[in-house]
Amino acid sequence: MRELLIRCAIIIFCLGLWIKELYLFIFPVLVCAWIADNGLLKLKQTTKEPLVQAILVLCIVLLLGLLWGDSYEEGRHKWTKYFILLLFIPFLSLLNRQRLPWVIGTLIIGYLGVLSAGIYQWIVMGEPGVQIFNISYLGFSAILGFSVILAIYFACISRSISFKILLLVIAFTLLFIQFNQGGRGILIATLGTIPLLIFFMFRVETKKLMSLLVLLVAVITVFVFSSSALQERLNFLKQDIAQFQQENYSTSVGYRLAMWDVGLNGITKRPFLGYGTGNTEQYFDNTIDTYKGGIYRDLPEFHSTSHYHHDWIEIGMHLGMLGILAFAFFLWSWYRIFSVQQLPILGATFVCYIFLAGLSDTFMLYTRIPILLLVITAVIICWQKECFQPMIQEK
């Protein structure tokens, strides 16, 4: 009976990653299942995983940052989203060989539902994102991005030619959909990660490497000129740059550049400990009246201040070099958890994608996307540890 309840809790958690109405329930449901599964007794073993240690370090540093923050009770509390990463601990602890098929099946069903709804909204309604699941165009683009990367990775390691071709067709189809979502930064992260993945997989096989890179360039070229959404976003980019050169910062590009300018300047003033957890919004709003003669003072009317549109600047404003080092340790540990299971290329690919996506936005503050990536990480690690390695040993 207990095992049935635990499996039901895991299914609810996996569905809640996609369904808005269940999202608020996934936290208590998962923790209760973890406690029922004697998770507290297994906590010492779970904390031996590199990524678990890094998540704990990052969250502890964020809590310490409250000690030197002046007004953390104000603002939109977006920084609290970092603590959602802690869900990785009970989820990883709950996974085993018997529960893995339930998790994979639920995740696939949810993914296919989101993908179908996103395609329908794009083709029929002509709009990006997935409104029915409350997923923005950036979130949907991020989902498509790591789907493309995973499909190409499994195509590269597959021994079946027909399966390789099928996965590559799926990957390029998803990439075409992503081209039509309008998320420029996430798309660039995807396009920057794919060549790195191909290089890692075939760096000693020059002919295959060059063939795949030529194919990739050809496909991307076709997609660039055939995507009306991308052409529109590129036109907006040109207009934004022209407005920026005329010192008009009330555009998407101008606002980001202004945020980065103020943020980097703020980090140089308090490089070691930052301004305290939760104080980044107040710093921007209080500084722009006088910074560089007040050229950014009208930006809050264009967009309310919530974050710095850059993972590293955001954490640096909160915690200075202490936070930047903690975040770097977090990404390094994300790679290490794959590397320990003999999956270094997949680990490097994941980290590269997250790093590049975080250069144009606060990717780690996206709703549901970071925890979804952690769930996929846990599933792959569990599969490698519980299923794949024992199969090799039996052979």
pLDDT in tens, 136-173: 999 999 999 999 999 999 999 988 889 999 999 999 99
| Cβ neighbours of 241 (radius 10 Å) | 14
| Domain with 215 in it | 136-227
* 240-249, 279-288, 365-374: segment of lowest average pLDDT: 240-249
Listed residue (288, 310, 326, 315) closest to 360, CA to CA: 310
Q: Would you state the structure tokens that stand for residue 340, as one six-digit string? A: 């320990």
Mean pLDDT over 376-392 rounds to 79
Domain annotation covers residue 114:
no
Mean pLDDT over 186-194 rounds to 94
| Percentage above 90 pLDDT, the chain | 52
Split into its structural domains, the chain has a count of 1
Averaging pLDDT over each range in 72-76, 250-254, 267-271, which range is the top one? 267-271
Amino acid letter for position 325: L
The count of C-alpha atoms lying within 13 angstroms of the C-alpha of 326, restricted to the half-sphere facing its C-beta, is: 25
pLDDT score of 174: 95
Q: Is the pLDDT of residue 108 over 80?
A: yes
Q: Is the pLDDT of residue 339 over 80?
A: yes
Domain annotation covers residue 150:
yes
pLDDT score of 392: 46
The alpha carbon of residue 115 and the mean position of all alpha carbons in its chain are separated, in whole angstroms, by 17
**135 pairs with which residues across the strands?**
130
- Sign for the CA dihedral angle at 186, 164, 344, 95 comes to positive
Listed residue (131, 134, 128) closest to 229, CA to CA: 128
d(CA 238, CA 219): 24
Q: Is the pLDDT of residue 259 over 70?
A: yes
Domain annotation covers residue 163:
yes
Listed residue (82, 36, 33) closest to 57, CA to CA: 82
Do residues 311 and 358 touch, judged by C-beta distance below 8 A?
A: yes
pLDDT score of 106: 93
d(CA 217, CA 211): 10
Do residues 110 and 14 touch, judged by C-beta distance below 8 A?
A: yes
Domain annotation covers residue 26:
no
Q: Is the pLDDT of residue 330 over 90?
A: yes
Q: Is the pLDDT of residue 198 over 50?
A: yes
CA distances from 154 to 17, 104, 150, 166 (A): 23, 16, 6, 11
Domain annotation covers residue 130:
no
Tell me if residue 203 falls in helix, strand or coil: coil
Domain annotation covers residue 165:
yes
Phi-psi region of 370 (alpha: psi -120 to 50; beta: other; left: phi over 0): alpha
Q: What is the dihedral of CA 4, 22, 376, 193, to 10 degrees?
A: 170
Mean pLDDT over 40-65 rounds to 92
* Mean confidence (pLDDT) of the chain: 88
d(CA 254, CA 141): 22
Contacts of 361 by beta carbon, 8 Å cutoff, 6+ apart: 138, 185, 186, 309, 310, 311
Q: Is the pLDDT of residue 265 over 50?
A: yes
Instruction: Name the pTM for this structure.
Output: 0.93
Domain annotation covers residue 279:
no
**Any idea how long the chain is?**
395
Residue, of 307 and 331, whose pLDDT is higher:
331
| Cβ neighbours of 313 (radius 10 Å) | 24
CA distances from 205 to 78, 159, 211, 271, 307 (A): 45, 16, 10, 45, 43
pLDDT score of 74: 54
Domain annotation covers residue 368:
no
